[in-house]
């Protein structure tokens, strides 16, 4: 899985937002001279910028997507690479925000046995989803080039997802 992702990173051009990825992938991003890598790391908690030398620190706090969008200004993000385990707590918000931030390709990788059915909700936005399975990992590739989103649509999906989660929680309490 990492070999495929390494090859994809070597082919990338443009801006890449990396959320909680491994140090091996960070090193490959640093070596690619065609990429501006904006990295929010799980270990360092500091962004790494190759060309623009901007600073963006998270220090373990949540990062506001509107601030990220203002921060990047007119720079669009071509690729997003995420460790699904790191963003799993906030998956509802990651969906709409990743559609908002990137009109390119999103790579989610999963190294453990976690339910990734939530990622199939990207089909709501007319995104193309492909899943590649390796020995003990999954790589989910989401192409957002045709994705369409509105504020009303996002609010309705957020309410719908919250209501479904509430119903699942209640049913688990009743059954369990």
Percent of the chain exceeding pLDDT 70 equals 77
Kindly list the domain boundaries of the chain, sorted by start residue. Answer: 2-147
In order along the chain (176 residues), what is the average pLDDT of each group of 10 residues?
82 84 82 78 41 41 59 72 79 74 86 74 86 85 86 87 91 90
Residues 6+ apart with CB under 8 A from 42: 20, 21, 83, 86
Question: What class has domain 2-147?
Answer: alpha beta
Average pLDDT along the chain: 76
pLDDT of residue 5: 85
Question: Given the structure tokens 């390796």, which residue do they identify?
Answer: 134
Residues 6+ apart with CB under 8 A from 74: none
- Helix or strand run (H / E) with residue 31: helix 23-31
CA distance 156 to 59: 32
CA distance 151 to 171: 30
pTM of the complete model: 0.77
- pLDDT tens digits, one per residue of 89-125: 777 777 777 787 788 899 988 877 777 777 778 888 8
10 Å CB burial of residue 95 (0-12, 13-18, 19+) is buried
Helix (H, G, I), strand (E, B) or coil at 27: helix
DSSP label of 19: E
Residues 6+ apart with CB under 8 A from 23: 43
């Amino acid at each position: 899985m990492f070999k495929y992702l390494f090859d994809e990173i070597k082919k990338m051009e443009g801006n890449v937002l990396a959320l909680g990825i491994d140090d091996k992938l960070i090193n490959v991003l640093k070596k690619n001279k065609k990429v501006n890598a904006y990295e929010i790391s799980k270990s360092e908690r500091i962004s790494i910028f190759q060309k623009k030398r901007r600073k963006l620190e998270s220090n373990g706090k949540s990062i506001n997507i509107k601030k990220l969008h203002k921060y990047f200004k007119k720079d669009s993000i071509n690729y997003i690479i995420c460790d699904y385990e790191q963003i799993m707590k906030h998956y509802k918000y990651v969906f709409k925000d990743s559609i908002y931030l990137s009109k390119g390709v999103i790579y989610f990788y999963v190294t453990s046995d976690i339910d990734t059915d939530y990622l199939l909700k990207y089909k709501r936005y007319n995104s193309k989803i492909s899943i590649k399975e390796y020995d003990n990992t999954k790589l989910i590739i989401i192409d957002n080039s045709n994705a369409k989103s509105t504020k009303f649509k996002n609010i309705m999906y957020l309410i719908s997802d919250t209501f479904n989660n509430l119903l699942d929680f209640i049913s688990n309490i009743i059954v369990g």
